[in-house]
Amino acid sequence: MRHFRPVAIAALLTAVAAACSAPSHDAVAKDSAAKPGDALAAAVAAPTRTPANLARDKYRHPAETLAFFGVKPGDTVVELWPGAGWYTEILAPLAKAGGGTLYAAAPWDRGLNRVKAKQTENADVYGAVKLAEFPNAGTNPKVPDGSADVVLTFRNVHNWRFDGKDNTAEAFKQIFAMLKPGGTLGIVDHRLNESDDSAKEEKSGYMKESSIIGFAEAAGFKLAGKSEINANPKDTKDYPKGVWTLPPTLTEGDANRDTYLAIGESDRMTLKFVKPAS
């Protein structure tokens, strides 16, 4: 009989235990796959983002906001009224890395000029972004009905409200149509206190949560959640020149500039809606 020293036996037992507890090849491959959170973090950290936009992350919490809305790398995402492209700088790299599709949809074509400029400047990152008219009048490209996993709009519903209640209702109707059953609508907007006069929605840039929820539910959406990710209790919401008094616009220029910078960007609601699956 072959004899083993105690040290050798201990080493042998350790090796066997390690082999038994080692993950399988499939498990390693699965674990190494990019998780949605990792992909979002990478997109937020994209080297192509504008430094001035990066400075606003402390107010806008993009990774947390997109995670709350359930945005995944391979999704078909529609960004409504992207403006200068603050979120486009995150969503485009996310779609590119994950094999997803990104639509930028806005008034044709002035509302898409900033995105077009980005496509010209950096076709590698932005070239695949699809352009569509929103609200769509029937003559220019649109987001196909039932094609989107997620529709996002950041600080824009108040702009639609300026065009009247009927036009706002039509906008939500078109959003509902472009989403797949079970798809998500994510909204961030400047939040008016529920106790304030609703007439302020027509000029201040702030809207009540109840108003936006009302428009969404009337179009067929179900409220799926609220988040305080983008809340700012310092915002008094009582400025004669509206929300644009605060950064980044700072409408009053140097007047009370330090006060408004200390407040930061506006108090914002973050609402998640779902298009019913049936």
Instruction: Answer for the pair 165, 207: CB distance below 8 angstroms, yes or no.
Output: no
> What's the CA gap between 60 and 220, in Å, rounded?
28
> What's the CA gap between 50 and 87, in Å, rounded?
11
Tell me the whole-structure pTM to 2 decimals: 0.87
Residue pLDDT tens, the chain, 278 long:
334 344 333 443 343 344 333 344 333 333 334 466 899 999 999 999 999 999 999 999 999 999 999 999 999 999 999 999 999 999 999 999 999 999 999 999 999 999 999 999 999 999 999 999 999 999 999 999 999 999 999 999 999 999 999 999 999 999 999 999 999 999 999 999 999 999 999 999 999 999 999 999 999 999 999 999 999 999 999 999 999 999 999 999 999 999 999 999 999 999 999 999 97
Closest CA relative to residue 188, chosen from 43, 99, 86: 86
| Domains defined along the chain, listed by start | 34-274 (3.40.50.150)
> What's the CA gap between 159 and 134, in Å, rounded?
13
Give residue 35's pLDDT: 64
Give residue 175's pLDDT: 98
- The 3-class SS string of the chain reads CCCCCHHHHHHHHHHHHHHHHCCCHHHHHHHHCCCHHHHHHHHHCCCCCCHHHHCCHHHHCHHHHHHHCCCCCCCEEEEECCCCCCCHHHHHHHHHHHCCEEEEEECCCHHHHHHHHHHHHCHHHHCCCEEEECCCCCCCCCCCCCCEEEEEEECCHHHHHHCCHHHHHHHHHHHHHHEEEEEEEEEEEEEECCCCCHHHHHCCCCEEHHHHHHHHHHCCCEEEEEECCCCCCCCCCCCCCHHHHCCCCCCCCCCCHHHHHHHCCCCEEEEEEECCCC
Name, in order, each residue with C-beta under 8 angstroms of 115's C-beta and a sequence gap of 6 or more.
82, 85, 88, 104, 106, 126, 129, 131
Write the single-letter amino acid at 67: A
Closest CA relative to residue 111, chosen from 137, 144, 75: 137
